[in-house]
Amino acid sequence: MRRSAPTGKYKPGQVALERALSKLGIASRTRAREWIQAGRVRVNGIVRRDPAFGVVPERAKIELDGETARPAERRIFLLHKPRGVVTTHSDEKGRPTVFSLLEKEGVHLIAVGRLDFATTGLLLLTNDTRLAAWLTEPSSGIPRTYLVTVRGEVSETGLARLRAGIADRGEALRAESVILRKASKKESHLTVILAEGKNREVRRMFQALSHEVTRLKRVAYGPLELGSLAPGEYRELSAGELAEAFPEYSLRGGGS
């Protein structure tokens, strides 16, 4: 399959045509590539069959099947991700994906960050790439709250290390807050709050303390809570609910 050229070939402000279509929230880059190669896309009146063709999205007139391609209406969903479901659009092992749970919505979505195969709980999905980027930016500092069960008894020394920060694979892993809810020689139950979502951060933190994570569930993303949603269930957030949860985003001009 033809691949897009590297971004280094583009002038300031330009992106690949396939990416421009994807950023409109109407299709994945794979689907956009298929449309372009099929001759269904025009840029400023000219059919462009190269997915890597450079465009400035804010200036170019992009048409799909003769109709101007406009940004899709923003939609954002809060899903209770079940165990055993992945957060990629496709899986080489054929495992189910979170996107299959929202197929009936008929909109191309991206996950706001990821939860691994065994982790359950709150996952946000949206068709707004700018919103997704802001929600996951470390500078946004949005807290993520997890319920964690680990093997063995976590000591006060271990809790202090989690709060102070643990170096792992060249990264500093640190919990904003750790509350030990219950502990025994067999296992410990904790509430952990992170300020950003590094890859498998909770599992890596406890692994560094020689505690295996046996259950991991995200119950809140910022002020948004999982609530009573059952695994596999989801609900759509209204524009008002989004603005109330993340007023900083609206103040940056992202609420329009």
> CA angle at residue 51 from 77 to 124, to 5 degrees?
10
Predicted confidence (pLDDT) per residue in 80-99, tens digit:
999 999 998 888 888 899 99
DSSP structure class, residue 54: E
Q: Enumerate the β-bridge partners of residue 180.
A: 190
- For each of the domains in the chain, give its residue range(s) and CATH number, in order of start: 7-68 (3.10.290.10), 76-138+224-254 (3.30.70.580), 143-221 (3.30.2350.10)
Predicted confidence (pLDDT) per residue in 132-189, tens digit:
999 999 889 899 999 999 999 999 999 999 999 999 988 899 999 999 999 999 999 9
3 state SS for 149-193: EEECCCCHHHHHHHHHCEEECCEEECCCEEEEEEECCCEEEEEEE
**pLDDT band at 73; cut points 50, 70, 90:** confident
The answer to whether 128 is a known catalytic residue is: no
Active-site pick, 50, 65, 91, 116: 116
Q: What is the mean pLDDT of residues 221-237?
A: 96
Residue reference for tokens 């002038």? 11
Residue 170 CB: number of other CB atoms within 10 A?
A: 5
